[in-house]
Amino acid sequence: MAIKSNLLFESKIQPTRQRLEAWRKSRPFREPIPERLWGCIVALAKVHGVSAVSQALRLDYYTLKRRLLGSEPLRKARRPAAAQFVELPRLPAPAPSSSCTVELADGSGATGTIRWPQPNPAALLGLAEVFWRSRR
């Protein structure tokens, strides 16, 4: 009896399997299965069961089950593509200050303070390096 029912199942599912395989070979990447084809697949699942049809057609069991129960939306909302580049508005340059104070400290407890009337980042970095090197 199981062999006869299996042959019946194969004869019923074969046309849908061929249509699905033809669609898989010709579709653009990640294109959803057409609704007409889903209709045939769901009709088969109503008769032969979700598990048997999903295995025979290599489909996700839960997706087919949702379709069979009618809870699968016709079209899923797609997520927007991840941003590749984000342009930030140009920020105004900071107003030049009249002075700059930098306090330095190392792990041994040594500290140093540099007060500069007009900040020069390259010079400040050089002085900080000299401070930390002298503390080794």
- Calculate helix-pair angle for 35-48, 2-26, nearest 10 degrees: 170
How many domains are there within the chain?
2
In a domain, 114, yes or no: yes
65 lies in the same domain as 10? yes
The model's pLDDT over 19-49, given as tens digits with 9 standing for 90+, comes to: 999 988 988 878 888 899 999 899 999 888 8
In a domain, 74, yes or no: no
Residues of the chain predicted below pLDDT 70: 1-5, 71-88, 91-98, 119, 132, 134-136
Identify the pLDDT of residue 1.
46
Q: Counting Cβ atoms within 10 Å, is residue 111 exposed (0-12), middle (13-18) or buried (19+)?
A: exposed
64 lies in the same domain as 111? no
List the helix and strand counts (H, then E) for the chain.
Answer: 5, 2
Domain that holds residue 65: 2-69
65 lies in the same domain as 106? no
